[in-house]
Chains A and B, each alone.
Chain A
Amino acid sequence: MAEIRCDRETTREINAAIKKLVAEGETEIVVRNPGARHNLAVAITEPVHITFDGSVGYYCAGMIDGPTVEVMGSVGWGAGESMMNGTLLVHGAAGNGVGASIRGGTVVVENNAAARAGVSMKGGLVLIGGDCGYMAGFMAQKGTLIVCGDAGESFADSMYEAVCYVGGRIAELGNDAVIQELTQADIDFLTSALTRYLGAKIRNPQLETKRFKKVVAGRKLWNFDKHEWKTWREAL
């Protein structure tokens, strides 16, 4: 295990130190005292495990392909944005746009997420242990968004083939979002995801997952139909 201290170092120096260790073949890196700096561990493409022992700022672990990035504190805006593959584990809370536009991999936030979680996802899994804010899942094309707590307004607005699950209350469904009945396959998937990523925090995953609501696109916005002008006008 290698350790990087960042008491006075700039973001650039910290990222250079991470990249250098990764290039040397290090597989376990711990970054001490990140102090909520922005743009840390961006575009790492090796299967390395990087741990930040505090909070990080904006765009942490963006565009990664393969590594596991673990944040012991909270993350700012756009954490894990556009990642291809890998895992981002956030033990605290997340700012706006967590897991936005990801193509694969997994983003786990143990506490609450602010607005626009998982917008425009094109694959992968975004799992929020707490509540999520306004407009989560907006225009998501593929992939899965799980919110264990309550979801904010305009939830799952204008989606394509993504699937959302909400354990709590949904303040308001977005345009063209519809609630579908859970199948046994959904329950099995949720149970395994919750057990795997939230583990001890969920007392009885089997029981818990049965109360989840499944939200998918109603497909009314997929093709233009002039008879649905009103829906379109609202959506645009």
Chain B
Amino acid sequence: MCGIVGFLDKTNDERTPIGRTILAMLSALHTRGPDSTGVALYRPGHEDELMLRIKLGETASSHALEKQISELVKTRASLLEASTTGRYMRLVLEANPDAGRIDRFIESVAEGVEVVSMGHALEIVKEVGSPDDLDATYAVSGYLGTHGIGHARLATESAVDLSHSQPFWVHGHPDVAIAHNGHITNYHKLRRSYEQRGVKFYTENDSEVIGVYLGQRLSEGLTLEEALTASVSDLDGSFSYLVATADAIGFARDRFAFKPLLFVETDAFVAVATEEIAIRSACEATYQVREAQAKEVRVWQKSAATGKPLARSMLQ
């Protein structure tokens, strides 16, 4: 099962209640994914800053660890903000050329420390539990931004914990995140070939390989749409997946249309979800939803930024 959702505000309103919308969509799909819930939310990016969400470990956090991470980060970049909520440490640093792979550097501090998201516009929070649980800890419903994707997980093969939850940030590619429904059957083969090239995998979740795949394709110079199109023939198995970047959301569907995926585009917004009930319960308006066809790929770019910057939103 699993449920995936995505929403993009086409009016480029930075004050869109994106957190509330994504959560409402996920709540409607909670029976498809009762194990864990996650969101990847985007607000207008600031090129001079990098936001990081760091999982401190599968168990409770320790102040010593937080301090160690802060000290380490300071040797590479100026630390603008640091806070800890739930299982995550949240850092904002001044972006500089050295900060490129600072995620690897931070992860070397201790076993179990993982950079769950990094970007100028992106923040991911995910946890075992329901959308309500996630909201209670991280105040997701108060988050204002422009677009986002979300995932409700029913684990089939890999562990039920924070790391194995989705969305996955694509390590090495700031602001790129994916959420997948389905099963990638050539996962082991692909994973082996990537590992031989030095790519680090963080989980045993087959969905992770989609992010790695897209990251590699984007590095090769493909556009997001080209990368999604290529994935339809390079990935095997059942998949409907969503991808988001700092300024776009998109989806790809496998060649047999195994997993459901529906979408609607109006003048005001784009909404994509595993079931129409998610779109109907979050977006009130008159519109017609349609199911994507097999092999269908779509990307919606956010329109160019307008208006003056507003107070920035953040997750707890």
Contacts and interface: CB of A to CB of B under 8 A. Distances in A.
Nearest to B277: A36
Contacts of A36: 275-277, 279-281, 289
A55 B289 contact: yes
B280 A35 contact: yes
B276 A57 contact: yes
A116 B288 CA distance: 21
Contact of A114 (B277, B279, B288, B293): B293
B1 to A, nearest CB: 12
Interface in A92-151: 92-96, 111-112, 114-116, 133-135
A38 to B, nearest CB: 7
Interface string A67-98: 00000011011000000000000001111100
B74 to A, nearest CB: 50
B284 to A, nearest CB: 11
Interface in A31-60: 35-38, 54-55, 57-58
Interface in B294-311: 294-295
B79 interface: no
A58 B279 CA distance: 14
A93 B277 contact: no
Nearest to A95: B291
B260 interface: yes
Contacts, number: 73
Interface residues of A, number: 27
Q: Is the interface of B mostly helix, strand, loop or mixed?
A: loop
B257 interface: yes
B289 A133 contact: no
Contacts of A92: 288-289
A62 interface: no
Contacts of A134: 255-257, 293-295
B257 A115 contact: yes
Nearest to B255: A134
B292 interface: yes
Contacts of B292: 114
B46 interface: no
A111 B257 contact: no
B290 A152 contact: no
B257 A114 contact: yes
B262 interface: yes
A37 B277 contact: yes
A112 B289 contact: no
A35 B277 contact: yes
Nearest to B31: A38
Contacts of B279: 36
Contacts of A73: 288-289
Contacts of A111: 288, 290
B257 A76 contact: no
B289 to A, nearest CB: 5
Interface in B240-298: 255-257, 260, 262, 275-277, 279-281, 288-295
Contacts of A116: 257
A114 B291 contact: yes
A76 B293 contact: no
15 contacts: A37-B277, A57-B275, A73-B289, A76-B276, A76-B291, A92-B288, A95-B291, A96-B257, A114-B291, A115-B256, A115-B257, A115-B294, A116-B257, A134-B255, A134-B294
Interface of B: 255-257, 260, 262, 275-277, 279-281, 288-295
